[in-house]
Amino acid sequence: MDYSSEHIDEEFDREFSRIYEEQTEAINAQLDQDILFALIGDVNTGKSSTINQLMGADVAKVGASPGATSAIDLYTFKQHITFADTPGLDDIIQDHSKETLGYYENADVILFFLNAAGTVFSEGEKSIFEKIAAVNQDIIIVLNKIDAAEDIDSLKAYVKNHTGGTFPIVAISSKNGTNIDQLRHAILDILEKKQKDIQLAKELEGKKAKASVAGKWILGASVAAAGVGATPIPGADIIPITSIQVGLMVKLASLYDQPMTKKQAKKLVVTTLVGNFGQTMYRQVTKFFPGAAFIAGTTIAGAVTAAFGYSIKYAFEHGIDLSTENLGGMIEEYLGQWQKRD
100 is a contact residue toward ligand GTP (CB under 6 A): no
Between the CA of residue 103 and those of 73, 84, 95, what are the distances in Å?
Answer: 11, 7, 13
65 is a contact residue toward ligand GTP (CB under 6 A): yes
Cα end-to-end distance, the chain, whole Å: 31
DSSP 137-203: --EEEEEE-GGG-S-HHHHHHHHHHHTTT-S-EEE--TTT-TTHHHHHHHHHHHHHHTT-HHHHHHH
Instruction: Tell which one of 4, 29, 31, 43 touches ligand GTP (CB under 6 A).
Output: 43
41 is a contact residue toward ligand GTP (CB under 6 A): yes
Instruction: Tell which one of 24, 30, 163, 173 touches ligand GTP (CB under 6 A).
Output: 173
Hey, which residues does 83 pair with through a beta bridge?
37, 75
Amino acid at position 14, single letter: R
User: In angstroms, what is the minimal distance from the CB of 242 to Mg ion?
Assistant: 46
How far is residue 218's CA from residue 133's CA, in Å, rounded to a whole number? 32
45 is a contact residue toward Mg ion (CB under 5 A): no
Name which of ligand GTP, Mg ion, none residue 173 binds, using a CB cut-off of 5 to 8 Å depending on partner kind: ligand GTP
Query: Number of residues in contact with Mg ion, rule: CB under 5 A?
Result: 2
User: In angstroms, what is the minimal distance from the CB of 76 to ligand GTP?
Assistant: 17
User: CB-wise, 59 or 191, nearer to Mg ion?
Assistant: 59
Hey, which residues does 291 pair with through a beta bridge?
none
Instruction: Tell which one of 174, 271, 311, 324 touches ligand GTP (CB under 6 A).
Output: 174
45 is a contact residue toward ligand GTP (CB under 6 A): yes
Q: Which residues contact 128 (CB under 8 A, 6 or more apart)?
A: 40, 89, 92, 93
User: CB-wise, 44 or 254, nearer to ligand GTP?
Assistant: 44
DSSP 209-256: HHHHHHHHHHHHHHHHHHHH---SSSSTTHHHHHHHHHHHHHHHHHHT
* Residue closest to Mg ion (Cβ): 48
For 56-83, b/e burial (b = at least 16 CB within 10 A) is beebbeeeeeeeeeebbbebebeebbbb
Instruction: Tell which one of 44, 82, 242, 271 touches ligand GTP (CB under 6 A).
Output: 44
Stretch that binds ligand GTP, among 141-149, 208-216, 238-246, 313-321 (CB under 6 A): 141-149
User: CB-wise, 15 or 147, nearer to ligand GTP?
Assistant: 147
Stretch that binds ligand GTP, among 43-51, 120-128, 263-271, 316-324 (CB under 6 A): 43-51
321 close to 336: Cβ distance less than 8 angstroms: no
Instruction: Tell which one of 82, 128, 143, 145 touches ligand GTP (CB under 6 A).
Output: 145
144 is a contact residue toward ligand GTP (CB under 6 A): yes
48 is a contact residue toward Mg ion (CB under 5 A): yes
How far is residue 61's CA from residue 49's CA, in Å, rounded to a whole number? 8
Residue ranges in contact with ligand GTP by CB under 6 A:
41, 43-49, 62-63, 65, 87-88, 144-145, 147-148, 173-175
Residues lying near Mg ion in the complex (CB under 5 A): 47-48
